[in-house]
Structure 1
Amino acid sequence: MSKDNNMVNTYRQQLMYLSQQKQQLQVQVNVLDSTVKELENTKETKVYKGVGNIFILKDKTDVIKETKETKETVELRLKTVEKQENDTLKRLNDLSKENKKEDKPKDESNTEGIA
C-alpha cells in the first residue's frame, strides 16, 4: 500500500509540473501569436529583432517567418506536454481505481466481523 501511495504522490507531482509547463508554453504561444499579428500590421519593411542583449535591424518578412517557426516549435512542445499530462492522469486514475478495489474487500470484511 505504501508503494501505491508513493506512486500516487509521484503522479500528482508530475501532473503539477506538467500543468505549470503547459501554462508557460500557452503563454509563449499567445505572445508569439500577438507578435506575428503586430509585425504583419506594421507598415515598416525593416524591424528590430532582439538578439541577446542587442537589437538588430532585419527584414520584416524574415522576422515574421522566424517567429512563426518558433511558434510552431512551441506548439509542438505544448502538444507533447498535453499528451504527457493526459497519460499521467490516466495512470493516476487507474492506480486510484486499483487502490479502491483493494480497499473495498478489507472494508467489507471489517463490517462483517462487527455485526
Structure 2
Amino acid sequence: MSLTDEGDSRSLTPDTAFDLLGDGERRRALAALREFDDAVSLDRLAEATAARLEGTTPDDVATDQCERTAAMLHHAHLPRLEDADVVSYDPMSGEVELTEVGEELDPYFEVMEEYRESVPSE
C-alpha cells in the first residue's frame, strides 16, 4: 500500500498524493469534498464535482451530468480514494466523508490554489 505506518497513525506518501490528484475528476471531487464539514451524500458530491467541471453552481448542473458524475465517483474514484484511506464511503447509504488521512492533501490543494492563475486550465 502507498501509505506509511507511523505508530497508530497513517499518512500519505507524496507519490500517492500526486497519483490521487493526477486525475482531474478525482481532484475536483476531493476539492468539492473539502468544502463540506461533515459526511455528504454521493448525489450532493456529484453535483458539486460536476459544477466544478462546468464552472457553474450545483443548481445549474444538468441532471444527466450529475448522474454520470455520480456513477464515475461510485465505480471508479471513491473506491480508489477509500483504498488509500483518503475518504470513507458507504455505498449502501451513499455517504462520503474526508478522513484524517485525506486532510493531509490540504497542503497540495493550497499550492494548487496559490498557482491556479499561472497554470493552464484542463
State TM-score, norm by structure 2.
Answer: 0.31
Larger RCO: Structure 1 or Structure 2 (Cα < 8 Å, ≥ 6 residues apart)? 1
Structure showing greater Rg: 1
Query: Which structure has more strand as a fraction of its residues?
Result: 2
Query: Which protein is richer in helix relative to its size?
Result: 1
TM-score normalized by the length of structure 1? 0.32
